[in-house]
């Protein structure tokens, strides 16, 4: 077995402004694991606000202990995953996990979703994200463009620092489209902010709220749950959800969890989290980072198990070297090829 590294400099079509800051370039890392016959691909999303770096990813992926863990037989996928050394870089672990799954699927000659028994027709439509903007005309035009492209669910990034400003953004979007809206505060509200704005968002037809309070604001989560009526908008935790162990503490506080490969360390952990969330009666969203088609396609193989898909990360990039899952007006079309089913665009 052999591991190769490819650094990906992904150019963002629009500067991506969240409550954390603005960025125009992401430096992800693609990992290739070859058994001499097949090559599995995996991607590590290098997310600056999680203090990740390409160097940390590459250090894990090129560690002789990582290579030694792969073993000789790609069919014994679980053995290899069990043997992997602990990772200080979770996205690096996700890349190795994904590449091993891709290799396994290629060996077996079937797409991952088929090996897991997932019906690809059950993928929920993916939302498309509209970032915050200080330019009202540009913001309205962007909402209109996404709506005209046929997306039935539009995710509005909020957490501008002012709940009145946040509400104004949703009102503007509502005036431009009849599509369903959901909002993501990226932890930008206090519990009091959230309790104040959520009924007003519901009146504007918003379907759910993602990560209202900060990642570690457990008092905020409890205050929110205590203060919300039973028929309040569902709350989906995102930043508060990281690995497998983060699901149970959210049971009874959040209505659902947003699972991303770069947060949890790969497809095996993501599938464990889906099972845990379901056992707790929670909803499931499959999300992504700003990523190429390698990581977004890997996540899409899980979408048939989800209530919500938020898999537009590769569409925010202008120079994605790969192709895999396609998104047609929000409809996810999974590739019908072994493993991930991802290939590189001809140069």
Which residues of the shown chain bind Mg ion in the complex (CB under 5 A)? Answer: 184, 210, 238
Give the tokens for residue 270. 């993501």
Nearer to Mg ion, 184 or 312 (CB): 184
Please state, in angstroms and rounded to a whole number, the distance separating the CA atoms of residues 97 and 228. 39
CB of 236 to Mg ion, least distance (A): 8
Please state, in angstroms and rounded to a whole number, the distance separating the CA atoms of residues 211 and 188. 8
Is residue 261 a contact partner of residue 295, using CB atoms and an 8 Å limit?
A: yes
Is residue 101 a contact partner of residue 340, using CB atoms and an 8 Å limit?
A: yes
Is residue 304 a contact partner of residue 113, using CB atoms and an 8 Å limit?
A: yes
Nearer to Mg ion, 10 or 18 (CB): 18
Is residue 328 a contact partner of residue 309, using CB atoms and an 8 Å limit?
A: no
Nearer to Mg ion, 96 or 183 (CB): 183
Q: Alpha carbon of 345 to those of 2, 145, 193, 340: distances in Å? A: 23, 27, 46, 15
**Residue entry with tokens 């490819």:** 6
CB of 281 to Mg ion, least distance (A): 21
CB of 194 to Mg ion, least distance (A): 15
Nearer to Mg ion, 18 or 81 (CB): 18
> What 3-state class would DSSP assign to 24?
strand
CB of 238 to Mg ion, least distance (A): 4
Nearer to Mg ion, 61 or 300 (CB): 300
Please give the residue whose beta carbon sits closest to Mg ion in the complex.
238
Instruction: Give residue 331's Cα distance to chain centre.
Output: 16
Nearer to Mg ion, 97 or 184 (CB): 184
CB of 334 to Mg ion, least distance (A): 23
CB of 307 to Mg ion, least distance (A): 15
Q: Alpha carbon of 268 to those of 98, 140, 284, 298, 342: distances in Å? A: 9, 40, 15, 11, 19
State in Å, rounded, how far the first CA of the chain is from the last one. 26
Nearer to Mg ion, 96 or 259 (CB): 259
> What 3-state class would DSSP assign to 60?
helix
CB of 186 to Mg ion, least distance (A): 6
């Amino acid at each position: 077995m052999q591991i190769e590294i490819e650094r990906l400099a992904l150019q963002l079509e629009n500067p991506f402004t969240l409550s954390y800051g603005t960025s125009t370039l992401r430096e992800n890392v693609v990992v290739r694991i070859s058994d001499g016959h097949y090559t599995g691909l995996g991607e590590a999303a290098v997310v600056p606000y999680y203090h990740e770096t390409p160097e940390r990813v590459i250090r894990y992926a090129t560690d002789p202990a990582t290579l030694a863990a792969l073993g000789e037989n790609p069919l014994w996928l679980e053995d290899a995953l069990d043997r992997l050394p602990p990772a200080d870089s979770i996205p690096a672990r996700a890349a190795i996990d994904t590449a091993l799954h891709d290799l396994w699927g290629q060996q077996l000659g079937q797409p991952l979703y088929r090996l897991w028994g997932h019906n690809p027709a059950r993928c929920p439509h993916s939302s498309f994200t509209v970032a915050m903007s200080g330019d009202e005309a540009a913001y309205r035009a962007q909402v209109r463009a996404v709506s005209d492209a046929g997306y039935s669910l539009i995710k509005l990034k909020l957490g501008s620092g002012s709940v009145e400003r946040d509400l104004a953004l949703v009102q503007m979007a509502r005036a431009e489209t009849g599509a369903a809206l959901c909002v993501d505060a990226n932890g930008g509200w206090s519990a009091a902010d959230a309790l104040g704005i959520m009924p007003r968002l519901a009146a504007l037809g918003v379907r759910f709220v993602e990560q209202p309070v900060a990642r570690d604001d457990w008092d905020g989560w409890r205050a929110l749950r205590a203060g919300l009526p039973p028929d309040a908008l569902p709350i989906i935790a995102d930043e508060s959800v990281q690995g497998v162990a983060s699901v149970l503490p959210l049971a009874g506080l959040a209505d659902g969890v947003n699972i991303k490969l770069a947060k949890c360390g790969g497809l095996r952990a993501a599938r464990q989290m889906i099972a845990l969330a379901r056992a707790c009666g929670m909803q499931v969203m499959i999300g992504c980072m700003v990523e190429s088609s390698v990581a977004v396609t890997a996540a899409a193989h899980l979408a048939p198990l989800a209530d919500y898909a938020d898999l537009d990360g590769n569409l925010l990039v202008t120079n994605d070297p790969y192709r895999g899952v396609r998104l047609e007006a929000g409809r996810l079309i999974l590739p019908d090829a072994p493993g991930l089913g991802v290939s590189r665009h001809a140069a």
